[in-house]
Chain A
């Protein structure tokens, strides 16, 4: 996208300076704008990616690179999904990058949901012990990841289920951390983490 804009600007400047134009393929349609592409997602993911929940995640404020890896994962059937794989296959790599940038710019709004404070307290200590290094600021940072703090809990449950069952790939490091949580607390540890992230209203 950036390249496109730059070259078009160059053409424009040429035109202004010398009345000379290098006309490209005039029959080709203009590229779809990032906004036009992204607005079409809102029927499921909410206006500007802020989901009314609870199973469909908020994608506003997502890290642009993480968005691309998720969409590419869906596109290549490396990430398990219901509709996302079918949808992602229809977007070009450039369009996926453009949508990632669009949603990264949108304001994340934490989910309004009921949490179990005891579970959240255990989750807090587990997070700080195992997860904080990558999911900084108690999961509120989106640097290279999805926003966990304030995300919808049913989505977090499903995502963790998919990581643990091998339906979604994860790094060796994350695998080791999750193994450690499971070894010590079994499923209750995962549940605690979900409640901790769900309790965060930023």
Chain B
């Protein structure tokens, strides 16, 4: 009990320091009132979380963990979540779609109210969320985590309709299965083209991991003469040196027989147009003909973010990066892929870490306290072949002067031993289990 009293005192003191000397006597005088536990002050308040991905699910769970008396409702349009992370393994049959499919049932055990409906609007004035099904849900605080949407107008010939035959597979599910089928049925000697997106986008190492794993699949399934071409508007990407090293070691990169070819933006890698009938891809310098075409389109925040007026002119959500509260609408926090979070990448781990910061920010706002100093982590694994993985990891802090999240991403050392590269694969698989458990269970 003594410790609790000290903690209460510390919290009070922070408020006092922030508000300055003159406020102190007021603060001191209100000590009896403040001794009402914070947890009681949050009781009965309502939080609506939109989106059941790693961001939304983790936020809902951690708000409940902090204060079970807060009503938490999670609204998600799909009955289950299908993980995009590690779905490149499913593309080549090394992981089942079932293992990527996550139920919301365990979240219910935390007392979270799960509603499978599609949100069509958020009114920040009346603090009300409305759904296509005709229902409304009021909130004291709203957390929006809708993930990404695609810019269907960015590449001529590629749109939502043509994506039904030319998969993006950048949201997992039927798209993953479709691309898998096409990879499996491609003739030996065929060309698979991956059109990579411009920054910023979900899962920055993803297109390159995908190329690596498809090369591994070709190599081990009698399709040695096949090629993978990555057409990229960018001149670099995260873990580039590690990918190129892996491609050189395993897939002949840098030789005439290389299975993987990467065409950078400076070499004309930007794609302007595709012909969905002939699978001819028109890049800036030359045309490429694909047997299997995978277009990962340019991206923006999930649709509801734009509908609710939470996006900027570039289509992403500006937020106070200490609390993730929208700078466009008060009372609404945006986390995960759709928000602008300084140097944090758009990854499941980032969304999970941001969700814990937002859970704390929601709690402090409901309980009338100052937000606490945040801490964020990201760790992302890439698997490039058999027993061959590597990672990027960073701890992020909030820079109070620049008002942005900063951190220095560090990748696996280029001279990592085979033991290390093998372990990174096993850690990637353990990471998958833990991020799923921590977010949804």
Contacts and interface: CB of A to CB of B under 8 A. Distances in A.
Interface of A: 5-6, 8-9, 11-12, 15-16, 19, 21, 23-24, 26-27, 29-33, 36-37, 39-47, 51-56, 82-83, 86-87, 89-91, 154, 158, 161
Contacts of A90: 394-395, 407-408
Contacts of A54: 426, 430, 433
Given A55-B426, A87-B394, 8 more contacts: A19-B24, A26-B17, A41-B377, A43-B431, A55-B430, A56-B434, A83-B391, A154-B426
A150 to B, nearest CB: 16
A128 to B, nearest CB: 30
Interface in B332-384: 349, 352-353, 356-357, 360, 372-377, 379
Contacts of B429: 55
B10 to A, nearest CB: 5
Interface of B: 6-7, 9-10, 12-14, 16-18, 20-21, 24-25, 27-28, 31, 62, 349, 352-353, 356-357, 360, 372-377, 379, 391, 393-395, 398, 400, 407-408, 410, 412, 416, 419-420, 423-424, 426-427, 429-431, 433-438, 441
A56 B430 CA distance: 6
A89 B394 CA distance: 10
B427 A43 contact: no
Contacts of B12: 12
B13 to A, nearest CB: 5
Contact of A40 (B20, B377, B391): B377
Contacts of B21: 21, 23
B180 to A, nearest CB: 26
B423 A55 contact: yes
A37 B372 CA distance: 11
Given A40-B353, A55-B429, A86 B424 contact: no
Contacts of B14: 30
Contacts of B391: 82-83
B435 A55 contact: no
B437 A47 contact: yes
A57 B439 CA distance: 18
B433 A8 contact: no
* Most A C-beta atoms less than 10 A away, residue of B18, B25, B373, B420: B373
A15 B374 contact: no
A27 to B, nearest CB: 8
11 contacts: A8-B13, A21-B24, A33-B373, A36-B373, A40-B395, A44-B349, A51-B430, A55-B426, A56-B427, A83-B391, A90-B395
Nearest to B61: A47
A158 B85 CA distance: 25
Contacts of A19: 24-25, 28
B427 A37 contact: no
Given A82-B420, A82-B427, A5 B349 contact: no
A43 B54 CA distance: 10
Contact of B349 (A6, A27, A43, A52): A43
A15 B24 CA distance: 7
A51 B20 CA distance: 44
Nearest to B10: A8
A47 B109 CA distance: 15
B13 A12 contact: yes
A190 B12 CA distance: 53
Contacts of B424: 82
B437 A46 contact: yes
A39 B358 CA distance: 12
Nearest to B428: A55
Contact of B433 (A26, A52, A91): A52
A28 B151 CA distance: 42
A16 B5 CA distance: 14
A53 B433 contact: yes
Given A15-B28, A19-B24, A23-B21, A43 B438 contact: yes
Given A12-B9, A39-B356, A83-B427, A45 B434 contact: yes
